[in-house]
Chains A and B, each alone.
Chain A
Amino acid sequence: MAISLEEVYKIAHLCRLEFNEEEAKVLTEELSKILDYFKKLQTVNTENVAPTFHTLKVKTPFREDEVKEFPYIEDILKNAPQLYERMIIVPKVVKTP
């Protein structure tokens, strides 16, 4: 198989996803099949070929550093899972000494 069950669990962690054993087994098979299909790209001669990451030739556009109104704060807070006043509550991330 192009990818092992162990690799699937490793990559799942990178993706911040989790799978039970059944799901991981199915995924291993599906991904292996797809990755096998990708092998055909190895036969293409890409010597001296530059990669294309964007089809549009743009440079990063700049703007003046002007302060503008941002009227969406209340609308944004409406979507927060847990609020305390205007702060979003999250699990503790700092270790207590």
Chain B
Amino acid sequence: MTDFKELTILEALKLLEKGKISSKELVEETLKQIKKVDPQIKAYIYVDEEGAIKSAEEADRLIQKGERKKLLGIPISIKDNICIKGLPTTCASKILQNFVAPYNATVIERLKAEGAIFIGKTNLDEFAMGSSTENSAFFPTRNPWDLERVPGGSSGGSAAAVASRMGLGSLGSDTGGSIRQPAAFCGVVGMKPTYGLVSRFGLVAFASSLDQIGPFATTVEDTALLLQVIAGHDPKDSTSASVEVPDFLKSIKEHEKTSFKIGLPKEYFESEIDSEMAKIILEIIEKLKKRHKIKEISLPHTEYAVATYYIIAPAEAFSNLARYDGVKYGFRAESKNLIEMYKKSRALGFGKEVKRRIMLGAYALSAGYYDAFYLKASKVRTLILHDFLEAFKEVDLILTPVTPTPPFKIGEKISDPLQMYLSDIFTIPVNLAGLPGISVPVGLTSDNLPVAVQAIGPHFRDELVLSLAYQIEKEVNKKFVPSILSE
């Protein structure tokens, strides 16, 4: 059988079609890999062994009958804040520890319709709040490149699962970088689509004006394929855009040799970046100069992005998490009266970071502080958005680092919330502006840790972002396989 470590979704689809492998073999290989490496990595909260094998057998029946679907027989994992009917959806929180989703998220319906197989639910920072997956109420996930380091967050489980080949792809969610940053830390491709391109129905809401579901895979084309299946207007999500979804794989091929005007924001490159990482990134930029016009641009309000985000996101979270009250679902504490029930259920059910953000959000929205905090931040958000719109008058795409450092050690930043927040500096502005952004691996440090770059595009030009990422991938010409896989 083909080396499973080298298999992409597109390659697997060809092999399945030709009958060289079966979906059941693919799924069994995935489950074997999970049994082998997940005790160390802990990417999965829940593995649906029975369901996955059953779906694989059904997929094989359809393949044999000659059915062709976009993801028929392909095993993927799903971040545990996305609802799959009948499976637990815990959001890595004690407050939803025993919650079983009563319906499928729209993205799940769409993946199912194209024959995808759900292996299980992956670990995350509780309610998607965090940048390291250390805030999971259950356990931290470890980076497959170095088990003493974080995989990033909040979609750390998804990124680690894909990097260690426990599945061929995954879906995560990104509110301030939660797909792109773990993708960078784990040496895989991760994309946050334009806000509104992918339905949020069935995604447990954290910050409604910032959240987006997006794909993880080992290649740009695989990522594009996953995005193709999940993208598009959904009447069940009133914030979903009525746009025509381009054919992403076709666009990637069409733009294989296109020369783009690429902007490098000076505020990003002048900030503190690990010197080895910066060297690797600048090397790839030099290589891109052969075909592309690279110029310096300015995004003057960059320095205000973290403060803006950490007012707006917690404010929206304060509102979205009010529903966890112990009444209709989730953890309910023993109590003598209603208010005690609310307070005890939430105090015992939520973790530290979640409570911190709910409190921040409440403060920013409260009487006397609303103008100075939430309203002010929302105005600065306009300025940040405007910076990007101005930049896109001069350039087609923007290229930046994803993180200021390589993956840090478990425990290193967890005791200083503000330090953790500041590390999201390159990813946050993209969510504030609602733009599409992708993280693509470009090299390894001398410690064998992945380094990535981020490509950002204008609203609803996701196909351009994917196209540049594909060109970068071809230029880099390297397979990123963590050492844990060669043991």
Contacts and interface: CB of A to CB of B under 8 A. Distances in A.
A and B interact physically: yes
Interface of A: 3, 7-8, 11-12, 14-19, 27, 30-31, 33-35, 37-38, 40-42, 44, 46, 49-56, 58, 60-61, 63, 72, 75-76, 78-82, 88, 90-93
Given A38-B310, A40-B304, A52 B376 contact: no
B350 A52 contact: no
Nearest to B377: A41
B383 interface: yes
Given A15-B318, A31-B359, A49-B383, A55 B304 contact: no
Contact of B362 (A11, A19, A60, A75): A11
Contacts, number: 164
B180 to A, nearest CB: 17
Interface of B: 85-86, 98-100, 102-103, 195-196, 209, 235, 238-239, 241, 301, 303-304, 306-308, 310-311, 318, 322, 325-332, 335-339, 341-344, 346-347, 350, 355-356, 358-360, 362-363, 366, 372-373, 375-383, 385, 417-418, 421, 432-434, 459
A41 B307 contact: yes
A40 B303 contact: yes
Contacts of B335: 91
Interface of A is mostly: loop
Contacts of B86: 75
Nearest to A93: B338
A79 B229 CA distance: 30
Contacts of A7: 363
Contacts of A8: 359
A19 B241 CA distance: 41
A31 B363 contact: yes
B376 A46 contact: yes
Nearest to A74: B102
Contact of A17 (B310, B343, B433): B343
A37 B307 contact: yes
B380 A44 contact: yes
B81 to A, nearest CB: 16
Contact of A15 (B235, B241, B304, B359): B359
17 contacts: A16-B325, A17-B343, A17-B346, A18-B343, A31-B360, A37-B310, A40-B307, A42-B372, A44-B379, A44-B380, A46-B380, A51-B379, A51-B382, A53-B209, A56-B196, A76-B328, A88-B328
